[in-house]
Amino acid sequence: MMYLMLIILAVTIALFVWGKFTPDIVALLSMLSLYLTGILDAKETLSGFSNPTVIMIAALFIIGESIAQTGWTALAGKKFVEWAGNSITRLLFIVTLGSGVLSGFVSNTGTVATLMPLTISSAWSIGTLPSKMLMPVAFGSNTGGLLTLTGTPPNIIVSNALAEAGFEGFSFFEFALIGLPLLLIALLYFRYIGYKLLPKNKTNNKPINIEDTLHKWIEAYKIEDGYYRLRIRSISPLINTKLENWHFEKDYGVSIIRLKRRHPNILKGIQTFEEFPTPNTELRYHDILTVKGETDAINRLMITFRLGLLPLEPITNELKHNLINQEVGMTEVIVNTNSMLVGRTYKLGDYFKRFGIQLIAASRNNKPLLDKEITIKVGDSFLLRGSWEHIDELKKQHEHLVICGSPEGMAKNIENLHFKSYIALGSLVLMIALMVFDILPGVMAALVSAGVVLLTGCVPISKAYKGISWTSVVMIAAMIPMGIALEKTGTAQIVANGLVNYLGSIHPILLLGGIFILTTAFSQVINNSATAVLMAPIAVLAATSLHISPAPFMIVVAISASTAFLTPIGTTTNAMVMAAGGYKFMDYLKVGAPLLLMFFVITLILVPIIWPF
């Protein structure tokens, strides 16, 4: 059985390295092999899918998605770039520190996904290349995951493995005792050594950010013409009436785009919005209406209904701050040859309203279309505003409409905070508090917080499921039986005995170093979660056979599982920045090897002091 076990393990690692199949498929094949060869029974084979670690990680993805959807990660990313100014070294320090701090609370992948476009844009704007910044972001996120229990899956895996072995697991911020020194080492390394080793790769990835996109739309559609904000004054006849009582579009040619409630406030300082006012929307004193229409029509509306005119910000800021947020976006739609709309005459505003979508502007041959009713031609383009779900529904019903851009992707780069933003942040704080004060087990604390963000709508359920990295979740669940098989067949015991006999018998620190080297070697070629699952039982057995505490060995497994600095395939974050930075395989080895050596030395010095044998 043991030799069969070793063959399955070797083939599994080879498939991970080969990369022909996704990690979850490899893990599932490995899991099935353990069952079909009789090494594990059905209950043991499927045990990973009910493991608290897997459930907790899925919940953490939902919480992380809520933080991204409600604007916190975009706001943090923007602040990092603002603080950098025009200093290249300051930007390098900030993006590395920022990715490290964010990844302590948001997934490493989510952190890099958020900071990567901002880093690329900022690198170009201050006169350097993205290849000088992106690898520090990836390595910083890997290191920052060591700041908290939930920062990266290996932390949760080793803590739960320790608890399952009958020992006390790690507290929420306990990892920071080693994570902070390592993050500091990474910052100093990239500031004084790593930056010089990073390549100068020229890439064609100057990003089109929101401002650029809005400028293009403003120029193409002349959006600034006829765009106004009006306030309902105390003497207005509109107060306490409904929109359906007034035929603004029919009688005045004015479209009501958005309504902001300013009086009364639900809570002090909280303003509410109606993104898409309906005929039943009731108008109140001090409401602010965002409208679009010709200047003469707006003047007539203001006089008739005694409305006040509010000053506009520069039009780009107006659009970004008042018409786009995490739930509502704008997109450009182009009619192609096969569209059923071609040749038909529509009142465009009424037509798109059927889908819950507002028509902001229309264009033909790069010239604005001002007619309310037009006969649609191939190549006509429309600027639309709506929720992502409604735009997606429009796309499904009209497969020959070309949707340009992604309001959903745009939403994650909007840093405007709203009431749900604070609920999402509060849910994260709640989870941390429940763990720190040991009120609930980690998995239950994560589920409670995930439940809060789902029930309050901080992240729609459809987006929550999309935000879960199912590849990672399935892979971890399918790899847990491998750890069981290593113990059941005695393979883990033999490896542990080998480490103990050759290294532990000399000194526990040598054993610690051996576990670090073995774990980091695995992490360079297979997923860090799978590495932690494989090495956790070996580390526990090695420590208990020497009758010493397994805590320092499990900490080392967590650290070394997050040190995939030598290859682009060790972690998703490394792979994410590879193309954007134009990196080659050897770039990772050249930049990552010195950092890995530093981590190895610092770990062997500090871990035995913080967690004595």
Which of 183-187, 413-417, 442-446, 472-476 is predicted with the least confidence, judged by mean pLDDT?
A: 413-417
Q: Are 560 and 519 in contact (CB under 8 A)?
A: yes
The reply to whether 595 falls in a domain is no
Name the domain boundary from 453, 470, 487. Answer: 470
In a shared domain, residues 234 and 344: no
The stretch 29-57 carries a mean pLDDT of: 88
The reply to whether 11 falls in a domain is no
pLDDT for 410 equals: 55
Name the domain boundary from 384, 411, 438. Answer: 411
The stretch 161-175 carries a mean pLDDT of: 88
The stretch 551-578 carries a mean pLDDT of: 84
Closest of 310, 130, 298, 313 to residue 214, by C-alpha: 313
Give 316-375 pLDDT, tens digit per residue. 666 666 777 667 778 888 888 878 788 888 887 778 888 888 888 888 887 888 777 888
The reply to whether 112 falls in a domain is yes
pLDDT for 305 equals: 93
Q: Which residues of 556-586 are buried (b: 16+ CB within 10 A; e: fewer)?
A: bbbbbbbbbbbbbbbbbbbbbbbebbbbeee
Select, from the ranges 390-394, 402-406, 447-451, the one with the highest average predicted confidence (pLDDT).
447-451
**Residue bearing the bigger pLDDT, 241 or 442:** 241
pLDDT for 414 equals: 60
The stretch 111-138 carries a mean pLDDT of: 79
CATH number of the domain where residue 393 is located = 3.30.70.1450
In a shared domain, residues 454 and 402: no
In a shared domain, residues 407 and 429: no
pLDDT for 267 equals: 44
In a shared domain, residues 222 and 303: yes
**Residue bearing the bigger pLDDT, 81 or 134:** 134
Closest of 515, 275, 506, 273 to residue 390, by C-alpha: 275
Give 221-258 pLDDT, tens digit per residue. 777 667 888 999 999 999 999 998 998 888 888 888 88
pLDDT at residue 209 greater than cutoff 80: no
Residues ≥6 apart with Cβ < 8 Å to 3: none
The reply to whether 495 falls in a domain is no
Give 176-189 pLDDT, tens digit per residue. 999 999 999 999 99
pLDDT for 139 equals: 94
Q: Are 23 and 471 in contact (CB under 8 A)?
A: yes
In a shared domain, residues 376 and 451: no
**Residue bearing the bigger pLDDT, 267 or 93:** 93
**Residue bearing the bigger pLDDT, 276 or 32:** 32
The reply to whether 41 falls in a domain is no
pLDDT > 90 fraction of the chain, expressed in percent and rounded: 22
Closest of 146, 306, 154, 297 to residue 236, by C-alpha: 306
In a shared domain, residues 75 and 201: yes
pLDDT > 70 fraction of the chain, expressed in percent and rounded: 86
pLDDT for 184 equals: 95
Name the domain boundary from 434, 449, 470. Answer: 470
Residues ≥6 apart with Cβ < 8 Å to 565: 139, 142, 574, 588, 591, 592, 593, 595, 596
pLDDT at residue 66 greater than cutoff 50: yes
Q: What angle do CA 292, 298, 303 make, to 5 degrees?
A: 150
In a shared domain, residues 68 and 165: yes
The reply to whether 31 falls in a domain is no
Q: Measuring CA to CA, how many Å separate 193 from each of 311, 563, 577, 582?
A: 51, 18, 20, 20
In a shared domain, residues 198 and 220: no
pLDDT for 558 equals: 93
pLDDT for 268 equals: 42
pLDDT for 452 equals: 94
Tell me the pLDDT band of 471, cut-offs 50, 70 and 90. confident
The first and second tokens of residue 408, run together, are: 């959903």
Give 512-534 pLDDT, tens digit per residue. 998 998 889 888 867 778 788 88
In a shared domain, residues 308 and 394: no
Q: Are 477 and 87 in contact (CB under 8 A)?
A: no
In 3-state terms, what secondary structure has residue 331? strand
The reply to whether 601 falls in a domain is no
Q: Measuring CA to CA, how many Å separate 565 from each of 60, 117, 326, 556?
A: 24, 21, 34, 16
pLDDT for 590 equals: 92
Distance between CA atoms of residues 10 and 17, nearest Å: 11
In a shared domain, residues 451 and 435: yes
**Residue bearing the bigger pLDDT, 6 or 239:** 239
pLDDT for 65 equals: 79
- Please state the separation of Cα 53 from the chain's center in Å: 20
In a shared domain, residues 316 and 337: no
Block residue for tokens 């509502």: 328
Closest of 572, 557, 485 to residue 526, by C-alpha: 572
In the predicted model, what is the mean pLDDT of the chain? 82
The stretch 368-389 carries a mean pLDDT of: 83
In 3-state terms, what secondary structure has residue 256? strand
pLDDT at residue 205 greater than cutoff 60: no
In a shared domain, residues 295 and 336: no
Residue 391: domain span: 327-411
Tell me the pLDDT band of 206, cut-offs 50, 70 and 90. low
Three-state SS string across 360-409, please? Answer: EEEEECCEECCCCEEECCCCCEEEEEEEHHHHHHHHHHCCCEEEECCHHH
Residues ≥6 apart with Cβ < 8 Å to 175: 146, 147, 148, 149, 151, 155, 555, 558
Q: For residue 584, what is the enclosing H or E element?
A: none
Block residue for tokens 């109606």: 274
Tell me the pLDDT band of 266, cut-offs 50, 70 and 90. very low
Block residue for tokens 């038909």: 344
Cis peptide before 199 (omega within 30 of 0): no
The stretch 161-182 carries a mean pLDDT of: 90
pLDDT for 114 equals: 65
Q: Are 195 and 594 in contact (CB under 8 A)?
A: no
- Structurally, the chain folds into a number of domains equal to 3
pLDDT for 321 equals: 67
pLDDT for 33 equals: 93
The stretch 60-86 carries a mean pLDDT of: 76
The reply to whether 144 falls in a domain is yes
The stretch 69-98 carries a mean pLDDT of: 79
